Amino acid sequence: MSNEWIWLSPPHMSGGELNYIREAFTDNQVAPVGRHIDRFEQELAEYTGIAHAAALSSGTAALHLALILCGVEEGDDVLCPSFTFAATANPIRYQKATPVFVDSENETWNMSPEWLEFAIQDRINKGGRPKAVIPVHSFGVPAKMKEITDIARRYELTVIEDAAGAMGSFYHEKHTGSFGDFTVLSFNGNKIITTSGGGALLSDDESKIEQARYLATQARDPVPYYRHSEIGYNYRMSNVLAGVGRGQLEVIDERINQRREHFKQYRLNLESLPGISFPDEPEAAFCNRWLTTMLVNPENSGGVTREETRLKLDSEKIEARPFWNPLHLQPVFRSFPWYGDGVCETLYEQGLCLPSGSGMPEPDRNRVISSIQEAFWK
Ligand SMILES: Cc1ncc(COP(=O)(O)O)c(C=O)c1O
């Protein structure tokens, strides 16, 4: 057995990134301005079909700016799924607004439209001010955007799509993020393409994206001396890192094919084990399969649990990760409103993300498969 760790989703460089980095050095554009940033933004817009993009230091920064741009402030409600990474909800608190956590539905594991509407109505009845909703396309699986945007329109909420892990996922042949008012992408080191750390905010509304760029560069007024009329942030992406992003974007389709192949092979080899299931691709969706996810239901598995499976993998130097522990259960968010009947809690108990890196060779994937089979044949 190889003695090397198999990681969940490590960066996968193509080599082409180095040409862009070299160019940034040659041009001495080693700052948060430069040609690569401009081109990366255009290329992101072309790839997603969303008209305008601002390249930023992280997906979290993009979420924060989106909330500012839709006027979210202290006392407003922002609805978001409980089943997501803390980065979806943290920026709501940066604005001193109230995160309202909504349960998942069983098909895509994303925000349940039924619970969303129930939560909005209940918050309005209680004197709340719902202002925006942040659906998340978890693990690259598109949320039910038709239903969610219908509800948002009815209650006049801005829709900010958190597509941090969903670059390259499509729904009804449109890129995830094309349905709402804003879209957030992340290029963190574990994402489908990476700039080591980085993100982007996209929208069809050019003036909003221009404003995002202005807020992201300390809100400097366009005058030849330093003048600031509002609070700004240092959220712009470096030109060097935008070069890395350009190199990564050139190979994104190949990366998605590799990840989809991992999903296919895991499913083919593991789904017959008792209690294990893999999510189907929802109707009209094309999933990037950023992470292969599976459920281990201990009622059907002869008692094998998700955690036992994870620990077995860990003992063989294979990194697998439990799903997100729902945010409404986190100490920092426990006092905020929550609407649901616990679908996301069951997902947390049963869910495991398997190594899915696009650079993972077949023998490593086979090692993961054998290890899981052994956990069930013990
Ligand atoms: C669902 C979700 N939203 C937001 C983020 C934040 O992105 P970033 O790490 O680029 O700030 C992440 C990052 O992993 C994420 O998984």
Print pLDDT tens along the chain (378 aa): 567 999 999 999 999 999 999 999 999 998 888 999 999 999 999 999 999 999 999 999 999 999 999 999 999 999 999 999 999 999 999 999 999 999 999 999 999 999 999 999 999 999 999 999 999 999 999 999 999 999 999 999 999 999 999 999 999 999 999 999 999 999 999 999 999 999 999 999 999 999 999 999 999 999 999 999 999 999 999 999 999 999 999 999 999 999 999 999 999 999 999 999 999 999 999 999 999 999 999 999 988 999 999 999 999 999 999 999 999 999 999 999 999 999 999 999 999 999 999 999 999 999 999 999 999 876
Q: How far apart are CA 149 and CA 255, in angstroms?
A: 30
Amino acid letter at 333? F
Q: How far apart are CA 359 and CA 173, in angstroms?
A: 27
Q: How far apart are CA 353 and CA 355, in angstroms?
A: 7
Q: Ligand 1, from 9, 134, 182, 188: best to mutate by most atoms within 8 Å of Cβ? A: 188
Q: How far apart are CA 343 and CA 106, in angstroms?
A: 7
Are the C-beta atoms of residues 265 and 292 closer than 8 Å to each other?
no
Are the C-beta atoms of residues 64 and 157 closer than 8 Å to each other?
no
Q: How far apart are CA 230 and CA 217, in angstroms?
A: 12
Are the C-beta atoms of residues 320 and 313 closer than 8 Å to each other?
yes
Q: Give the 3-state secondary structure of residue 263.
A: helix
Q: How far apart are CA 10 and CA 6, in angstroms?
A: 9
- The two structure tokens encoding residue 362: 């077949």
187 C-alpha to ligand 1 centroid (Å): 8
CA-based radius of gyration for the chain: 21
Q: Which of these, 37, 85, 6, 347, lies nearest to 216 by C-alpha position? A: 37
Same-fold call for 17-249 versus 252-377: no
User: Residue 297: phi, psi to the nearest 5?
Assistant: -95, 110
- The two structure tokens encoding residue 124: 């309005």
Q: Give the 3-state secondary structure of residue 258.
A: helix
Q: Give the 3-state secondary structure of residue 9.
A: coil
Domain segments of the chain: what residues? 17-249, 252-377
Q: How far apart are CA 255 and CA 167, in angstroms?
A: 11
> Which residues have CB under 6 Å of ligand 1?
58-60, 84-85, 87-88, 136, 162, 164-165, 186, 188, 199
Are the C-beta atoms of residues 300 and 306 closer than 8 Å to each other?
no
5 C-alpha to ligand 1 centroid (Å): 24
60 C-alpha to ligand 1 centroid (Å): 6
Instruction: End-to-end CA distance of the chain: give it in Å, rounded.
Output: 19
| 252-377: CATH topology | Aspartate Aminotransferase, domain 1 (3.90.1150)
The number of the ligand 1 atom at minimal distance from the alpha carbon of 61 is: 11
Amino acid letter at 1? M
What's residue 32's pLDDT? 86
Q: How far apart are CA 235 and CA 218, in angstroms?
A: 8
What's residue 215's pLDDT? 98
Q: How far apart are CA 193 and CA 200, in angstroms?
A: 12
Are the C-beta atoms of residues 300 and 276 closer than 8 Å to each other?
no
| 17-249: CATH topology | Aspartate Aminotransferase; domain 2 (3.40.640)
What count of other Cβ atoms lies within 10 Å of the Cβ of residue 128? Answer: 17
Are the C-beta atoms of residues 74 and 217 closer than 8 Å to each other?
no
Compute the C-alpha angle 33/38/39, nearest 5°: 135
Regarding pTM above 0.95, the answer is yes
Q: Ligand 1, from 8, 57, 60: best to mutate by most atoms within 8 Å of Cβ? A: 60
